[in-house]
Amino acid sequence: MAMNEGVLYVVATPIGNLQDITARALDTLKRVARIAAEDTRHSRKLLAHYGIDTPMTALHEHNEPEVTGTLLKMLHSGTDLALIADAGTPLISDPGFYLVRAVRQAGMKVVPVPGPSACIAALSASGLPTDRFVFEGFLPAREHARRQRLEALREEYRTLVFYESSHRVADCLTDMVEVLGAGRAAVVARELTKTFETIRAGKLSELLAWLQGDAQQQRGEFVIMVHGEAQAAAGAAMDPQAQQVLELLMQELPLKQAAALASKITGLAKNLCYQRALELKKAN
């Protein structure tokens, strides 16, 4: 990195409650020469609240490639920049990937200024397992594609995290009930950090009935979290003896055969042994 090049700061902003901004984020937003923001009018309100009048440039999914060129030139000439989204952490279901990749490819510095993200906030209060999770962002808008995506996730043992907007949340839960099963444990986190914050746990079918029964609850922004597939989760937490059998067999046999034989010896389902074998192979 050349000495006189600027730095791009990727700054997280609140997801509702304006107090959820770090001292470092405020300091950075004041100090940089320009802020790239998804919607400048929206972000102006946040900045005004904190008495920050740093100039802004709009950077959204429709203009990211062109604007990236301009911002790269500014960084090259030694100007420090910040990137913010409308809410939460940039690049997490928000623009900025193109810019961050380009800045890094140009050999310049990208510095995260961490803070809120709806995904992490929701998980932290969900009561679902958080040691491993899969962030899926928004499911496809069209029903067929949405169901296909859910089908692909049916056997996933890690906690699933989805973002959803008010107008699709009921459709999305309906598909989850049908594809993932009515009895699957889940948590809906709505309007986090805002006045009507609601975090509700239940079976998928219960959560759907609750939402359908109260139009008020369908308003706002949502994170839907779904417990991983229980049998697969059990496989993932395979007991040490069974895992040892599998590991020994994997030393002598091709993966598929090792999994099949481990299944016969341990009595565990074949696909669980296979899943575990794949994980062990990846980890080594």
What residue ranges bind ligand SAM (CB under 6 A)? 15-16, 85, 87-89, 92-94, 117-119, 163-165, 189-194, 221-223
The residue among 157 and 162 lying less far from ligand SAM, judged by its C-beta, is: 162
The residue among 5 and 164 lying less far from ligand SAM, judged by its C-beta, is: 164
Do strands 198-203 and 185-190 pair parallel, antiparallel, or not at all (unpaired)?
antiparallel
The residue among 117 and 275 lying less far from ligand SAM, judged by its C-beta, is: 117
The residue among 64 and 221 lying less far from ligand SAM, judged by its C-beta, is: 221
The residue among 5 and 221 lying less far from ligand SAM, judged by its C-beta, is: 221
Minimum CB separation from ligand SAM for residue 169, in Å? Answer: 9
Which position has the token pair 């059998």?
245
Minimum CB separation from ligand SAM for residue 35, in Å? Answer: 16
- Cα distance from N-terminal residue to C-terminal residue, the chain: 34
How many whole angstroms from its chain centre is CA 246?
33
Rounded CA gap, 26 and 13, in Å?
9
SS3 79: coil
Do strands 221-226 and 159-165 pair parallel, antiparallel, or not at all (unpaired)?
antiparallel
The residue among 165 and 257 lying less far from ligand SAM, judged by its C-beta, is: 165
Strand order in the sheet with 34-37: 56-58, 34-37, 81-84, 7-11, 109-113
Rounded CA gap, 202 and 205, in Å?
8
Minimum CB separation from ligand SAM for residue 51, in Å? Answer: 24
Minimum CB separation from ligand SAM for residue 42, in Å? Answer: 12
The residue among 57 and 198 lying less far from ligand SAM, judged by its C-beta, is: 198
Looking at beta carbons, which residue is closest to ligand SAM? 88
Q: Which two tokens stand for residue 12?
A: 């997280």
Minimum CB separation from ligand SAM for residue 7, in Å? Answer: 21
Contacts with 207 (C-beta within 8 Å, 6 or more apart), sequence order: 173, 186, 188, 200
Minimum CB separation from ligand SAM for residue 122, in Å? Answer: 6
Minimum CB separation from ligand SAM for residue 266, in Å? Answer: 41
DSSP secondary structure, 115-157, as one string: ---HHHHHHHTT-S--SSEEEEEEPPSSHHHHHHHHHHHTT--
- Are 86 and 38 in contact by the 8 Å Cβ rule? The answer is yes
